Amino acid sequence: GESVGLHLPTLSVQEGDNSIINCAYSNSASDYFIWYKQESGKGPQFIIDIRSNMDKRQGQRVTVLLNKTVKHLSLQIAATQPGDSAVYFCAETLYNFNKFYFGSGTKLNVKP
C-alpha cells in the first residue's frame, strides 16, 4: 500500500537543523523498506534501506526508524544541507516479491 494524497507535503527547515520525514505504509506484511531521494529533474536515488526485523538503521547523516506497530517509517537527516533539498519517497515491498510500492513523497526545502 501507499500513502496517497492530492497534495505533496512540504517540510521547510533551516540549514544545519535536523529533518524528520515521515511515511505511513498500509501493508503490515511488508518486510523491506527503502527511502529514495529525488532531486529536481532527476530520477529517484537510493538513500537507505531497512528490513522489518530491525527498528533502526543508520547511514551517513541519515537514520531510518521503523515502527511496525503503527506501520510508520521515518527518515532523519542530521545537519540538513541545501543539497538535501529534494522530494523524498518511502517504498515498501514483500519478501521475495521485488515489486515496490511507493509513497507519494515529501518535499524538503532547506533554507540557507
108 belongs to the binding site for another protein (CB under 8 A):
no
69-81 in b/e form (b: 16+ CB < 10 A) is eebebbbbbeebe
d(CA 5, CA 99): 21
Q: Which of 7, 53, 69, 112 binds another protein (CB under 8 A)?
A: 7
Q: Which of 80, 105, 108, 110 binds another protein (CB under 8 A)?
A: 105
Q: Of the listed pieces 12-20, 35-43, 59-67, 68-76, which binds another protein according to CB under 8 A?
A: 35-43
- CA-CA-CA-CA dihedral for 87, 89, 49, 80, to nearest 10: 30
**Residues near another protein (CB under 8 A):** 2-8, 32, 34, 36, 41-46, 49, 51, 89, 91, 93, 95-105
